Amino acid sequence: MAVQTEEYGSRLYGFDQPLERERIGLIGEVFDPYTRRRITDLGALTGRRCLDVGAGPGTVAAWLADQSGPDGEVIALDRDTSLLHEAGHPGVHIWRADIHTASDDELPKPGFDLIHARLTLCHLPRREEVLPRLVSWLAPGGHLIVSDVINTMAATSPHPAVRALTQAYDRALATTLDSDLNYARAYPTPLINAGLTGVDMAADVPLVRADSHTARFWELTFTAMRTEILATGLIDAADFDKAIDHLTARGTHELGYTLVSAWGRSA
């Protein structure tokens, strides 16, 4: 059983940590193209009311605002809204709240045509309680789309140190933050169980190549948790460094962690 010692973003991956702003910006560079494609496939957003949960720096929320136009509404919700305020997109309404603990009175009113949450549920304690809550905020016919990563590098990488690093990272996340990078392996079942219809899913795999956004993202992501990763005992310092060197070396071609997206429609 995972033993949580802190919350995601309170220290590890907090916006005030060194290089975290670069790292979280790279999340958009790596994953936004997949997110935009999946949301676009759900239909036109013009005039729609949208909620982006765990909005981070707001790149998805800004895109949603551009798509929904002046007659739409986009709310970006996060526990730490500092980066959203810095971005300051005029079409994005910023809402500071913890989706996991906030009361209904502390959250936006329901009735959304689209709710999006990426790399959010996998990092929340009692995540199985949050998804039905999101579903309850949908307007009739509204869509929920959730995306989280799963570790496919442990199975696909030809490099032993990379396989060990990713396994140790998953363990460190679980024991330190109570994150679950296996959660998305259950998709789309949680959406079906929550009563959504037209449920479907897709998987997108960013490539890790030298000088790519993906390589830099994983370099920063793993390095930020170096101490916790080594504490698992699944990898030593020498192999940790070998894995990072490999992921950023010229000639490297690896399949990264897979982004699994699932979506469904409210009745």
pLDDT tens digits for 29-58? 999 999 999 999 999 999 999 999 999 999
Does any domain span residue 101?
Answer: yes
Q: How many domains does the chain have?
A: 1
Nearest Cα residue to 186 out of 116, 127, 136: 127
pLDDT at 112 (0 to 100): 99
The β-bridge partners of 112 are 138
Enumerate long-range contacts of 40-46, CB under 8 Å, 24 or more apart: 42/114, 42/143, 42/145, 42/263, 43/143, 45/72, 45/113, 45/114, 46/71, 46/72
User: Could you say which residues of the chain have pLDDT below 50?
Assistant: 1-2
Q: What is the pLDDT of residue 263?
A: 99
Domain contains 24: yes
**pLDDT at residue 79, rounded to an integer:** 92
Structural domain that includes position 44:
20-150+180-205+257-265
Residues contacting residue 138 through CB under 8 Å, at least 6 positions apart? 110, 111, 112, 113, 115, 144, 266
Confidence at residue 114, expressed as pLDDT on a 0 to 100 scale: 99
Which CATH number does the domain housing residue 94 bear? 3.40.50.150
User: Is residue 238 included in any domain, yes or no?
Assistant: no
DSSP codes joined into one string, the chain: -----S-TTTSTT-TTSTTHHHHHHHHHHHHHHHHHHHHHTT---TT-EEEEET-TT-HHHHHHHHHH-TTSEEEEEES--HHHHHH--TTEEEEE--TTT--GGGS--S-EEEEEEES-GGGSTTHHHHHHHHHHTEEEEEEEEEEEEE--HHHH-S-HHHHHHHHHHHHHHHHHH---TTGGGGTTHHHHHTT-EEEEEEEE--EEETT-HHHHHHHHHHHHTHHHHHHTSSS-HHHHHHHHHHHTSTT-EEE--EEEEEEEE--
Residue 223 maps to a domain: no
pLDDT at residue 3, rounded to an integer: 53
242 is a domain residue: no
Indicate the length of the chain as a whole number. Answer: 267
Residue 198 lies in a domain: yes
> In the prediction, which pLDDT does 172 show?
96
pLDDT of residue 4: 54
Q: Look at residue 91 and tell me if it is in a domain.
A: yes
Euclidean distance between CA atoms 236 and 234, whole angstroms: 7
Contact residues for 178 (Cβ-Cβ < 8 A; gap 6+): 2, 4, 125
In a domain, 222, yes or no: no
